[in-house]
Amino acid sequence: MSTNLVMSEDEALELLSFLVTAARTQLDEAPEYGPLRLLTAAQRLAENIAPRVSPATRALLDGPVESLSPTAAMREDRAQYVASLDALCAAVGRHLVAHFAPEQKSGGSSAPIADGRR
């Protein structure tokens, strides 16, 4: 496994400052802005690390991560937004298993896991 850094200090500080200020801002905003801010941070992270990650991780970033727009949020169809987030969580989970424990890949259900159930 490579131990190369995938973010520069400047990029990491930018993301850190976004997360900290978003946490403070969230105290005064409507609750639905929380997921929006977290997805924005995830996309900023993805943009910063994309040039320096493995091809498999790059596919995750260019596919499922990029496909979910934080600005779409729940303005349109909340059920569809929740389903999209569930699918993104499942894709990230499958990638993590393949990345960290390739010998543990299972052929089980690819359905998203929500609150501990399939």
**pLDDT tens sequence across 3-44:** 677 888 899 999 999 999 999 999 999 888 888 889 999 999
pTM: 0.75
Four-CA torsion 95, 99, 100, 101, nearest 10 degrees: 90
Angle in degrees, CA 77, 83, 85, rounded to 5: 105
Phi, psi of 117 (to 5 degrees): -120, 155
pLDDT given at position 73 = 58
Percent of the chain with pLDDT over 90: 46
Per the CB < 8 A criterion, the answer to whether 87 and 112 are in contact is: yes
